[in-house]
Structure 1
Amino acid sequence: MRIKKPLTIAIAMANVAVVSAWAQEDSQQDEDWALEEVTVTATKRETNLMETPVAISAFTQEELDRQGIKNIKDLGNTIPNVDIGYDASQSSPVISMRGVRSTNTSELGDPAVGLHFDGIYSSRPQSAMAMMFDSERVEAMRGPQGTLYGRNSTVGAINVISKKPVIDEFEGTIGVELGRWNQELVKGVINIPVSDTFALRASFMDETRDSYLTGYYDANQYDNRYIDADSLGATALSDDAERTFTQNGNWWASEDVSLVRADAEDFYGNVDQQAVRIGALWEPTEDISWYAVVEHYQDSSAGGINTIDCDKAEQRTDGVNCETYYGSGADEYTVAVNVPGKLDLSMDSFRSNFRWDFSDSMAFVYNTGYAVQNRSNLIDVDAGRNTWDMSMSITDAENVSYSHELQLQSTGDGPLQWITGLFYFHETTDLNGYFLASLDNATFWKQPERTVEASAVFAQATYSLTDTLHLTLGGRYTEDQKSDEGGNNLTCTRDRSINTDETGEYGCFPAYDQALFNELSTGYFTDNSIYTVNTYNDTSRTWSHADYRIGLDYDLTDEVMLYSYVASGFKSGGLGDVIYQFEQDPNTAEDIYDEDGNRVVAATFDTNYDEETVVTWELGAKGTFLDGRLNLASTFFFSKYKDMQLAAPDTAYTFLVREVDDEGVLTGNIVSEPAVIYLTKNAAGSEIMGLEFEFDWAPYPNGRVSGFATWMQTEITSDFENRWNFNNQALFELDDWAAAHDNSNDELYRNLKGNELPASPEFSFTINYDHTFELAHGGAIIPFIGIHWEDESYLTYWNVDKHDFPADDTSAFDDSRDAFWMVNASVKYVSPDDQWNVEAYGNNLTDEVIPYYADGSDGLVSGPFSAPTSYGVRFNYNF
């Protein structure tokens, strides 16, 4: 790794020395505004945050509300070295922690950061989109957590803990939030003590909001089966409205059809979600506690969509930019589509935490969870940027998962504290969906039974070698099995052997005639009977691994702790589709069949990938100073990854087709086209090094300052030779899309050794400040401001500007992200009896346009962006 390690180690030691120096202060002040102690469960038992030898950040529901955090996606700027984007095609957050993430959010992939709710593992990242209401706290643990938290926690884990019922108190809250873009949010909680041993707690939230995008429907794109201005609530633009790049460039586009403005209420980027949770707590004796919760979540929005990075497009030399696509004034929040967004995502779950302290020194814990996720969606993939006119739909998908975890753990204050347990997890996915390139082909996914079965045994113990020195040893043995039974990829292609001047069917496609194509029903491509089976995905693989944790922590004083550990992590490999290349006649491009009428297979491609492993060394310090008014925590870490899993589109093989010109007429030539798939590969190795510093300070009775500062460097350290696959045509100055994806062209290959990992800025910091002005009548006014700054970074692992290309200027086509500021602020009034409060807020007050991912597949860099400035008012009433 080309990092100046002596300098880095010096910084780390200085970091620890700062905390140690604070420890020498013996404050004589006796003030009464000490910070409240925070209890966390990072070690599977309740411990004080500042006495837990793990890099962890914790947030209460009040802190989440104050910063407008309603789901995992909103947490990005609040946790050191964490970046959270969004995959619109899968309606899923993409969590990056310490430069590590997984962009394969489909049923084929696993997240890089383990998600847990009430300590119970959640396999699908979509489940994190609206669970942060009526929460006790959210814990974000950084570094390998595999020993105790298991699956896919190589870089960290996030645990959302819901509020349990209170047995001896009746309470309730109702809240309303009104904001920009017609946002309306209603939420409520009621806690009912049923008896001396039993209580119920019910909570709900309901939120709607119009889209902040300037959206248009464009019937000039090839597939206009969905365009119905009346039913979509769209209104026509003026007669002199500018025509778009797509309208001018498509041979089928009519001169008379203008864009129509979409209704923001049901356009991409809107919000329409509801959730309800009912929890029950039973404590029949002092030794037994049972908490169970049922939960339902529904998202009926239009989903998200990627838009153009207009700043980069403006740097193109050919004059193609956002305004040429969408008209004057277009920006990153402008988009014209021909396929409306639709999302129907529901999740129903049950979680149970049972604890029995059956002796003075031991307790039995049983955690179990069951979840069902149903999803269907429709998304305009190209969003008018590409004449191939692509859309994607998950027609129906059901994911069923359940888990069991048995724990036996020590209690009491003895020198040896330990926990051991068994874990079992099962997941089954039944998915159907298709990808459509309207001018050429469609692919249908039929996956009736994709399963994951994981089991593990684990143990961890901490022994006090002396009153101040403690040794921790932990281990976990995991076995993951993944299988696919009856899965197929099916294809539907145009038969190009038929003269294009003739009408009729081309395979399952009509002729190159837009009018004929648009006579098809909107459900035509959902019928898998029109397709031909192209792959048989029956496969199964098993991975096993033993992880460990060795740690030492030392109580330097009663207020300061130093800790260090070395730990390993493991993320199992995955199953890809088994892809077949069929033999073709080089003179006609037709498939060759055997005597039984089956297509002859020329080659088989196994797209499975191997496990990812990591070893992390961490050195940290935590201290409480100034009579409990200041908490400091610092961490230096170094991680070494082997076979890191990185995902991107790639060419599996090339196939022959009869060439068609821009107006759909056969030229008579036989040409090659690539079969591009989304593929996960194992990079040879990478290293990550960084420093995290967190602080929480009450400088005076009514003031609070908190935040963090980070430094991090990441690098792919071994040879990782790849055919380039980010804006190939522009960077290599190729006119032909097929040539840009030709695996046999050595000029397209680059070694990615030395590249940085995505979403890993070198420096970042966050600072939050609030002050309570106590009023004479007993009420209070509390202003708050939060400022986040982040250094420049990359949005993918391609790192365009680190490599040479035929194009002289790559700035219009690269994957860089500029440094940015984010400012949130609010002012809250609290009534004298704390019965009600009202708060005015503003988020992203600097109106930063922040990209969270970069797609460079069509010459225009696109992706999801941060929301523009938002503002509103919240009101809460307690009873």
Structure 2
Amino acid sequence: MTIKKPLTLAIAMANIAVASAWAQEASNQEDDWALEEVTVTATKRETNLMETPVAISAFTQEELDRQGIKNVKDLGSTIPNVDIGYDASQSSPVISMRGVRSTNTTEFGDPAVGLHFDGIYSSRPQSAMAMMFDSERVEAMRGPQGTLYGRNSTVGAINVISKRPVINEFEGSVGVELGRWNQELVKGVINIPVSDTFALRASFMDETRDSYLTGFYDVNQWDNRYIDADSVGAGVLADNAITTFIQANNAEGATDYQLVRADAEDFYGNVDQQAVRIGALWEPTDDISWYAVAEHYQDSSAGGINTIDCEKAEQREDGTTCETYYGSGADEYTVAVNVPGELDLTMTSFRSNFRWDFSDTMAFVYNTGYAVQERSNLIDIDAGRNTWDMSMSITDSENVSYSHELQLQSTGDGPLQWITGLFYFHETTDLNGYFLASLDNAVFWRQPDRTIEASAVFAQATYDLTDTLHLTVGGRYTEDEKSDVGGNNLSCTRDWSTESDEEYGCFPAYLQGTFNSFSTNHFADSSIYTIDTYNDASKSWDSSDFRIGLDYDLTDEVMLYAYVASGFKSGGLGDVVIQYEQDPDTAEYIYDDEGNRVVQQVIDTSYDEEKVITWELGAKGTFLDGRLNLASTFFFSDYKDMQLAAPDTAYSYYAVEREGENAGEITTEPVVIYLTKNAASAEIMGLELEFDWAPYPNGRISGFATWMQTEITSDFQNRWNFNNQALFEISDYGLAHDNTNEELFRNLKGNELPVSPEFSFTINYDHTFELAQGGAIIPFIGIHWEDESYLTYWNVDKHDFPTGDTSAFDDSRDSFWMVSASVKYVSPDDQWNVEAFGNNLTDEIVPYYADGSDGLVSGPFSTPMSYGVRFNYNF
């Protein structure tokens, strides 16, 4: 995709022409049902949404509640060119904006979209799961925001702004929501004026819900340490019973047991979360304001899990379907596990905003934040989809971060408005966890001190060249440093040369009974492993970024703007990977004179920074006597060294084949890790149109329409890592991941970026029916549609493979519709209201990510149709 200057000019002319047409129809008269002005803080100062030269969407708490949005993960269909998936292994949302995302949600991965709470940077994507309640509004800014918002805002930023206490006013509310799958949600707010200068505000939310998955426990899988036939009440299968995949592939002589339906209350996909927030506002004078808030969030659910894309599985020529794996009636929401899901995610944070208008023309602002995230989780990785029986656990993780930002900014109405500041951020992570392939080996991560430190200086100014033409210039210098001190990768491997009951290191012998004699926390003890690598490393990156823009007031109601801005996302550290020398004849390691294994090569899995330059042209206008807001944006982004993450083979080593038909043969075996690469250059361009219209006094229509194209524009030779064995028709796992086999490589130049539909739109409509005796009934309907897209950067169907037809193994996503609706009754005095609602009313099955393994495509899917009722009382 190459953008020519004539096309860019044509888009710009189209924006100006459209804006001019709007202006000709505009009127200066006010109307009774004009739209309310929306105030945003995208430029670190309060401005009118329609007068802010940035592509930005804003939502009030009422709008969030109406659409069932409780956290950032639920925002996907409400913001132009935004898609939000979920990484179950890290309990983390994956936010994609304008085709750019980061699927590296580990402690050293950085999100592509900057996340902020009350204007204060939040480093871990898990914090996006903290519930949205008692919010003033949510602002979603698209395009590079690095000048003012800093870290990881190369493609945009989301700012969740909580409601501040109200001085001299007592108010409160309590709400209840009941829904499908035994959903129960309770929330409340109370605002207490303590004095003429001080007020407190406390709010809380508590939600539980059963899982929407059809979950089973399967005691036939290798690891029975968490469940057994007696504890779950599994009976023996009848001789003529239809078997699942695991039952059919059970070890010879093993007893096959029935699947047992799991309790939906504590199974994967359930909800059990609570949050509380206490805020204080002190305004001792007209010039001083100090807002501080403390917040605590707890998620005690079972976490999420990937399930099979049954539509793709049904296209396999060997007759394999979801029913092959899980029995009759299985679909995308069916799963059988032997490792129950566990999640304990706690986030405690403190935020402070101090402002002092110390003169008529200047103000001082100090923002600071402190957050502690603690997490442990256990997840069944394979979920009965293969016989290796894999699970993963973060046994304990603590992430502590704090930030400081000092601002000096102009005030008043002068022709020059400016802001300058200093920023400092520090984050330390202490993490332990393991991955277990129950049939073969285990690896442990011990990372006691992984640190990120960032500092920056920034400035941005807007100068009125004329009464209608305004120039904005901004810059930011950033230094990022990441270090790993004392980190190790540890491992243990089963000894396949014996079937005795003897124990070998941390791994039991061949017999399953011996394996299951260990406790459930056996593999959580790092002392039973052998250290493979030392991950001590430190790297730093720096960048100077800029923003230059012009905005022009075509009329009092219409604004045109254009800017060019750069963005920067720092590189990252990866685990050290070491390949040891082995005898090609015996596969035995070679040792030096001191008894140490000889190192063949050390592979550095760190990666460099990502940079982008974005050009944007836009127009915003308010028309029809204030009843219609329209905004259009054309953007073009040019990425260099784009960071793309996916499973990859780090190296290969010699190993002896297991006992059996090929006993004693030497082969190569891969070590596959999750790797981030500076993959390629990429170009992205698109058009976003947003509208908000009150066509008559009691009606409201809002939404957006988008067009976007993305493309990897440079050579990106990559050994294929998505459904390798199936696409290349290779039965041996090691050969399918052999870095020396050139036939496994493909050039990904020309591929599209993930979740980048060419077209999409959302339209929302509500109407207020005012009742004769007072009160009102307000029906609402929201419709979202997206064109087809890809879920990864592999774009399987664009490449040729030995298998020929790739439809059963690819990463494509079909176009889809999402429909939500509600009907709300508001009492005559507006003291209480009740609302019936339904989400995903067409019961669409939408995948949000694709993992290709074992000839299957799996991932997280949309929540099925849900419905319920909400009640809220104000006092």
Query: TM bucket by the smaller chain?
Result: over 0.9
Matches within 5 A, 1:752-791: 752-791=748-787
Distance 1:172 1:504, change over 3 A: same
Structure 1 residue 565: deviation in Å? 0.1
Alignment pair present for 1:575 and 2:573: yes
Deviations 1:312-348 (A, max 9, x none): 0000000111011111111000001111100000000
What is the deviation of 1:29? 6.2
Cα separation, 2, equivalents of 1:193 and 1:629: 36
- 242-251 or 690-699, which deviates more: 242-251
2: distance between equivalents of 1:450 and 1:13?
50
- Residue in 2 that maps onto 1:474: 474
**Partner AA of 1:611 in structure 2:** E
1:541 aligns with 2:539: yes
Question: Which amino acid is the alignment partner of residue 217 of structure 1?
Answer: Y
Decide whether the 8 Å contact of 2:494 with 2:510 is kept in 1: no
Equivalent residue in structure 2 for 1:826, among 810, 813, 822: 822
Q: 1:255 Cα deviation (Å)?
A: 4.0
- Distance, in Å, in 2 between the alignment partners of 1:359 and 1:617 is 37
1:671 partnered with 2:667 = yes
Name the amino acid aligned to 2:226.
Y
How many angstroms apart in 2 are the aligned matches of 1:77 and 1:57? 12
Give the match for residue 290 of structure 1: 290
User: Do 1:173 and 1:190's aligned partners in 2 also have CA atoms closer than 8 Å?
Assistant: yes
Which residue identity does 2:114 align to in structure 1?
G
**Secondary structure at 1:822 match in 2:** strand
For each residue in 1:11-67, what CA deviation from the matched residue of structure 2 results, as whole angstroms up to 9, or x when unmatched?
A: 553244223201111437653000010000000000000000000000000000000
Indicate which of 594, 608, 614 corresponds to 2:612: 614
Report the AA paired with residue 671 of structure 2. A
For residues 801-820 of structure 1, the aligned pairs below 5 Å read: 801-820=797-816
* 2-structure distance, mates of 1:260, 1:391: 20
In structure 1, the residue corresponding to 2:808 is in which secondary structure?
Answer: helix
Partner of 1:339, secondary structure, is coil
Q: In the alignment, residue 25 of structure 1 is paired with which amino acid? A: E
Counterpart residue number, 1:550:
548
Q: Could you tell me which residue of structure 2 aligns to residue 417 of structure 1?
A: 417
Distance 2:80 2:625 in 1: 26
> For 1:264 and 1:517, how far apart are their aligned partners in 2?
29
Over 3 Å counting, the alpha-carbon distance change for 1:519 and 1:235 in structure 2 is: closer
Distance, in Å, in 2 between the alignment partners of 1:352 and 1:466 is 38
Residue in 1 that maps onto 2:163: 163
Which residue in the other structure is 1:876 paired with? 872
Unmatched runs of 5 consecutive residues or more in structure 2: none
Partners of 2:138 and 2:338 lie apart in 1 by 40
Amino acid at match of 2:610: E
Q: Matched residue of 2:127: which SS?
A: helix
- Residues 376-426 of structure 1, C-alpha deviations (whole Å, 9 max, x = no match): 000001111111111000000000000000000000000000000000000
State the alpha-carbon separation in 2 of the partners of residues 34 and 451 from structure 1: 51
Aligned to 1:87: 87
List per-residue Cα deviations over 1:544-566 (Å, max 9, x = no partner).
00000000000000000000000
Normalised by the length of structure 2, the TM-score is 0.98
Asked whether the equivalents of residues 505 and 529 of structure 2 are also in contact (C-alpha less than 8 Å), the reply is no
Determine if contact 1:237/1:259 at 8 Å carries over to the other structure. Answer: no
1:446 is matched with which residue? 446
Moved more, 652-661 or 276-285: 652-661
Tell me the equivalent position of 1:96: 96
Counterparts of 1:479-494 in structure 2, within 5 Å, are 479-494=479-494
- Between the aligned residues of both structures, percent identity stands at 84
Task: Give deviations 1:713-735, integer Å, cap 9, x for gaps.
Answer: 00000001000100010110111
The CA distance in 2 between the partners of 1:306 and 1:808, in whole Å, is: 27
Aligned pairs for 1:188-203 (under 5 A) are 188-203=188-203
CA distance in 1, matches of 2:815, 2:750: 21
1:69 and 1:661 map into 2 onto residues whose CA distance is: 54
Correspondence 1:845 to 2:827: no
Structure 2 match to 1:465: 465
Q: CA deviation at 1:5?
A: 7.1
AA of the residue aligned to 1:508: C
The answer to whether residue 700 in structure 2 is matched with residue 704 in structure 1 is yes
The 1:26–1:441 alpha-carbon spacing in structure 2 relative to 1, beyond 3 Å, is closer
Alignment of 1:30-45 (within 5 A): 30-45=30-45
- C-alpha displacement at 1:237, in angstroms? 9.9
Match of 1:635 among 633, 636, 639: 633
Query: Following TM superposition, where does structure 1 have runs of at least 4 consecutive aligned residues deviating by more than 4 angstroms?
Result: 2-9, 228-232, 234-241
Q: What SS does the aligned partner of 1:164 have?
A: coil
Q: Which residue of 2 aligns with 1:799?
A: 795
Mapping of 1:148-227 within 5 angstroms?
148-227=148-227
Contact 2:785–2:815 (8 Å) recurs in 1 = yes
- Write the distance in 2 (CA, Å) between the matches of 1:250 and 1:789: 44
The answer to whether structure 1 residue 660 and structure 2 residue 663 are counterparts is no
Q: Is the 8 A contact 1:237 1:260 kept in 2?
A: no
Aligned to 1:126: 126
CA displacement 1:498-552 (0-9 Å, x = unmatched): x324331234322221111111111110011111111111100010000000000
Take 1:20 and 1:83, find their aligned partners in 2: how far apart are those partners? 32
Q: Considering only aligned residues, what root-mean-square deviation do their CA atoms show, in Å? A: 1.5
* Distance across 1 between alignment mates of 2:188 and 2:253: 51
Secondary structure, counterpart of 1:297 in structure 2? strand
Distance 1:353 1:229 in 2: 56
CA contact (8 A) 1:500 1:666 kept: no
Question: Aligned partners of 1:817, 1:352: CA distance in 2, in Å?
Answer: 43
C-alpha distance 474-237 of structure 1, shift in aligned 2 (>3 A): farther
Deviations 1:338-367 (A, max 9, x none): 111000000000000000000000000000
Match of 2:336?
Answer: 336
Tell me, in whole angstroms, the C-alpha distance in 1 between the residues paired with 2:829 and 2:6. 56
Q: In structure 2, what is the equivalent of residue 601 of structure 1? A: 599
Structure 2: distance between partners of 1:820 and 1:864 = 16
**Counterparts in 2 of 1:13 and 1:241: CA distance versus 1, 3 Å:** farther
Of stretches 809-818 and 237-246 in structure 1, the one that deviates more from structure 2 is 237-246
Give the superposition deviation at 1:666: 7.8
The DSSP-based 3-state class of the residue aligned with 1:678 is strand
1:494 deviation in Å? Answer: 1.6
Using the TM superposition, give the Cα deviation of residue 152 of structure 1 relative to its aligned residue in structure 2, in angstroms. 0.3
Given residue 280 of structure 1, which amino acid in structure 2 is its aligned partner?
A
1:727 maps to 2:723: yes
Contact in 2 for aligned 1:247/1:253 (Cα 8 Å): no
Please name the residue that 1:514 is paired with.
512
- What residue is the counterpart of 1:258 in the other structure? 258
Letter paired with 2:541 = W
What amino acid is aligned across from residue 244 of structure 1 in structure 2? T
One-letter amino acid of the counterpart of residue 561, structure 2:
Y
Separation in 1 of the partners of 2:201 and 2:87? 33
Taking the aligned partners of 1:634 and 1:624, their CA distance within structure 2 comes to: 12
SS of 1:668's equivalent in the other structure is coil
Partner Cα separation in structure 2 for residue 548 and residue 824 of structure 1: 41
CA contact (8 A) 1:221 1:253 kept: no
| C-alpha distance in structure 1 between counterparts of 2:572 and 2:123, whole Å | 14
Alignment of 1:333-412 (within 5 A): 333-412=333-412
**Contact 2:277–2:294 (Cα < 8 Å) also in 1:** yes
Rounded to whole Å, the distance in 2 between the matches of 1:524 and 1:666 is 32
State the partner residue of 2:677: 681
Q: Per the alignment, in what secondary structure is the counterpart of residue 387 of structure 2?
A: coil
**Matches of residues 51-90 of structure 1 in structure 2 within 5 Å?**
51-90=51-90
Task: Tell me the SS of whatever aligns to 2:73.
Answer: helix
Give the paired residue count.
Answer: 874
- Tell me how far apart the structure 1 counterparts of residues 609 and 99 of structure 2 sit (CA, whole Å): 18
- Opposite residue 830 of structure 2, the aligned amino acid is D
Q: Distance in 1 between matches of 2:155 and 2:231?
A: 47
SS, match of residue 796 in structure 1: coil
The amino acid that maps onto 2:625 is: D
